[in-house]
Amino acid sequence: MRGPRTGRTERTQVGIVGAGPAGLLLSHLLALRGIDSVLVELRSRAYCEARQRAGVLEQGSVDLLRAAGLTGRLDTEGLEHGGIYLQFGGERQHVDFRELTGGRTVTVYAQTEVVKDLIAARLAAGAAIEFEVTDTEVADLETDRPVLRYTSADGVRHEVTCDAIAGCDGFHGICRPAIPAALRTVREREYPYAWLGILARVAPSTDELIYAHHPRGFALHSLRSPQVSRLYLQVPPGTDVAGWPDDKVWAELQLRLGLPGWDLKEGPVLEKSVTPMRSFVSEPMRHGRLFLAGDSAHIVPPTGAKGLNLALADVAMLADALGGLLAGRADLADAYSATCLERVWRSTHFSWWMTTMLHASPGADEMEAQLQLSQLRYVTSSRAAATSLAENYTGYPPLRAGAGLG
Ligand code: RFL
Ligand code: PHB
């Protein structure tokens, strides 16, 4: 391997590590405030735009993207949903978010599309995004001139002096570990199951998402467009997709989602992958001039559809905090971690609650199954319990529209 070519020293206001939804939206929100940033990303643009992940945006996330001028395609292609179905014990019950929350909804619009829209908007504005960088490092975090170093795709080593650094580099990134271990507290739970997800070229068989509790394990019917469906199956952790040919996936989905008189339509499988399930929170989300946002600081299991929404909410808050800090006011930056963590813990609890209510734990006895079924019957028959689910799913507390824009 050749060493990096001659180093280059540069200056920006905010160095951002990671071009996922958190890093991209932060760079956009900062630009709206006239703040410069340099955004570095390990992967290629094509890889970032193709990665299949989340699908559900809270209303507050949609409002935030709209206020930031990013909803051109979302407004025409996003599918607004006023509720979900919970299926258990051979019944399918609707939870009506609009009615329970005074009109709040969620929007199905794939994370890949959010990422494409953000990359296009940043590049059109002439932003500095470096894809396919290597050897990213952050240093001097306890000074007011932290440094971001990386090697760009052409082999040149860069050293960028910043006023602040945003660690938006996901769960496996380098920013969280740059905080001394003695100053970090981690709370974590691994679940004894994973999700096998498929993307299929077939019209959705449902008008709203179906979350199904089944003795064979959890299943979810989600969607992407009038022509493309997204479906998930609970599988053991570490499952190899090679052991799940398409016909086996469809047969299992038919068993877990099936109801008399309802037809699950099948189609060609476009993508298939397995996702582990984890709850993880690392506190605090700030160390000196390094601020963590999104999956770099916290992970939730996907059952509550919260990960992407938390990432967007963090950077809305961070744009405000950095705007203040760069103008000489530290109050919002000082409050950043505690303010974000309140929402993070609410979503962590909600995601854990949805996950444990809906999945079959290996070795679980009939007692556990009956407790889950009782909870599901309660949530679909008590207005108070249904309202709690609806208020959390659509976003609690609702994200202030325009947050991050000053
Ligand atoms: P990301 O998206 O992981 O982006 C981090 C970026 O940082 C880059 N990176 C580096 N760059 C430079 N130098 C380094 N050393 C770097 N190390 C890493 C990475 O390449 C990457 O591009 O984090 P971000 O921006 O915080 O966004 C978080 C979301 O991606 C995540 O929370 C959601 O996808 C979670 N999630 C869901 N969230 C929802 O809100 N609603 C959902 O319906 C939902 N469904 C899901 C999900 C996640 C899933 N998977 C696969 C984990 C469904 C699934 C199956
Ligand atoms: C998705 O459409 O990918 C999706 C929807 C709801 C979830 C998780 C993932 O809870």
pTM of the model: 0.96
pLDDT at 1 exceeding the cut of 80: no
The candidate with the shortest Cα–Cα distance to 175, out of 132, 143, 146, is 146
Q: Report residue 396 as tokens.
A: 């609690």
| CA angle, 302 then 111 then 23, to 5° | 100
pLDDT in tens, 48-60: 999 988 899 999 9
Ligand number nearest CA of 56 is 1
The pLDDT value recorded for residue 63 is 94
DSSP 3: P
Mean pLDDT of the chain: 95
Residue 6's pLDDT band (cuts 50, 70, 90) = confident
What integer is the mean pLDDT of 167-187? 98
The pLDDT value recorded for residue 406 is 43
Q: Report residue 341 as tokens.
A: 């963590």
What integer is the mean pLDDT of 324-335? 97
167 lines ligand 1 (CB under 6 A): no
Question: In the chain, what percentage of residues exceed pLDDT 70?
Answer: 97
Residue 173's pLDDT band (cuts 50, 70, 90) = very high
The pLDDT value recorded for residue 3 is 62
305 lines ligand 2 (CB under 6 A): yes
What integer is the mean pLDDT of 145-159? 97
Q: Note the Cα 17 to chain centre separation in Å.
A: 16
The candidate with the shortest Cα–Cα distance to 222, out of 57, 59, 367, is 57
Residues in the chain: 406
Q: Which residues are catalytic?
A: 81, 211, 302, 306, 393
The pLDDT value recorded for residue 403 is 52
What integer is the mean pLDDT of 20-28? 98
* Ligand 1 atom, smallest distance to 18 CA: 7
pLDDT in tens, 94-104: 999 999 999 99
pLDDT at 405 exceeding the cut of 70: no
Mutation probe of ligand 1 site: the residue of 25, 41, 44, 53 with most atoms within 8 A of C-beta = 53
The pLDDT value recorded for residue 128 is 84
The pLDDT value recorded for residue 7 is 80
The pLDDT value recorded for residue 145 is 98
The secondary structure of 208-257, three-state, reads CCEEECCCCCCEEEEEEECCEEEEEEEECCCCCHHHCCHHHHHHHHHHHH
